[in-house]
Amino acid sequence: MTRFSVLLPVRNGMPYVKECVGSILAQTYPHFELHVLDNQSTDDTVAWVSGLKDPRVTVTTSARSLSIEESWARIKDVPKQEFMTMIGHDDLFDPPFLEIIAGLIGAHPDAALYQTGSRLIDSAGRTIRPTKPVPARESAADYLAARFTWQRDVFGTGYVMRSADYDRLGGIPPFEKLLFADDTLWLRLAKQSWKASDPRDAFAVRIHPQSESASVPRLWSSFVKGLDQLAGFLEGFVREDEACREVYRRLGPGFFLRYHRNIYIYALVDASQRGCRIEAATVERIAKSLAKTAPAMAGQLSGSAKVRALEVLNGSFLRPLVGRLWTLYQLFKR
């Protein structure tokens, strides 16, 4: 019998944590436990979860305020069932999520990572769009190629793995704000064998004004750090895997160029929203990161019409338009 541990790190999860926990407890597959790892919430999160009096739920609190990296690091030290998954306090399981995963495990016991189809939802739970489809079988090299060509919606939740594998690998790495940390974990797990997927939509990732995904411009500095950490990881990772090394050689430079241009756009939007011109030191920092992670692409940070247009707007009296254009772009992208 397959048993699961669901790990939920949370800080001030109201109101979404109620729906999240409810979706876990409503699973059609009964053999699971839920560990809520609270990070000194000041709202009613702990009181509400504790008040459920559900024997499947364990609440652990922190003695001090933790960073997001420290909060998620606690997952490794929690006693867990054979299989585990992580969930954000604003995300949702559909009722058959664990049942579908249990079927995948039974059909493909040699896989090291499992997932279902999923969707993005808004603050009211309405579907924004389905996430990009994934193949039924995927190697680490397949995943890396899809990631480098922007064929994946990547989130740190919705994946299932063996708890022993997670613990042995040291858990999710403590990258800046956990950016790209999920990529490294999925790659390391998939490298052990492969990832099995079921196309049925059984998981929802919520995008709302308080989520990290909705506050991208102000996180540009964290994205630079996280991208540097990802590049450092990949340099070592691909040395040990010929297929991944070929993907990295062929597609990596283009990926890092595009991501650095995106970060530069975030920084331009952030500066414009604050009513000022972007600082030269900011541009230099992003350019240096690009030169380090993709030397062949050095000097090409401003090499797109979109970037050049934002540079012009940020340096002119039309600066206030940048924030409005960003809002429209986010609506269109959905």
Best CA proximity match to 71, nearest among 118, 35, 33? 35
pLDDT score for 248: 98
Per-residue pLDDT band for 208 (boundaries 50, 70, 90) equals confident
pLDDT at 211 (0 to 100): 52
Q: Phi and psi of 27, rounded to 5°?
A: -65, 140
In the CATH scheme, what architecture does the domain 4-213 have? Alpha-Beta Complex (3.90)
Q: Which of 5-19, 249-263, 304-318 bottoms out in mean pLDDT, i.e. has the lowest?
A: 304-318
- Residue 207 sits at φ, ψ, to 5 deg, of -110, 120
Question: Which pLDDT tens digit goes with each residue over 33-72?
Answer: 999 999 999 999 999 999 999 999 999 999 999 999 999 9
> How are beta strands 113-121 and 159-162 bridged, if at all?
antiparallel
41 backbone φψ class: left, alpha, beta (φ>0; ψ -120 to 50): beta
More confident residue, 163 or 326: 163
The pLDDT-based confidence of 144 (bands split at 50, 70, 90) is very high
Domain boundaries, the chain: 4-213, 216-333
What percentage of residues in the chain have a pLDDT greater than 90? Answer: 90
Show the tokens assigned to 100: 């579908």
**What stretch of H or E contains 288?**
helix 280-293
Confidence band of 332 (pLDDT split at 50, 70, 90): low
Measured between alpha carbons, how far is 256 from 45 in angstroms, rounded to an integer? Answer: 39
Mean pLDDT of the residues in the chain: 94
**pLDDT digits 0-9 by tens, 87-124:** 999 999 999 999 999 999 999 999 999 999 999 999 99
Which pLDDT belongs to residue 333? Answer: 59
Q: Where are the beta strands (DSSP E) in 98-239?
A: 113-121, 127-130, 137-138, 159-162, 195-206
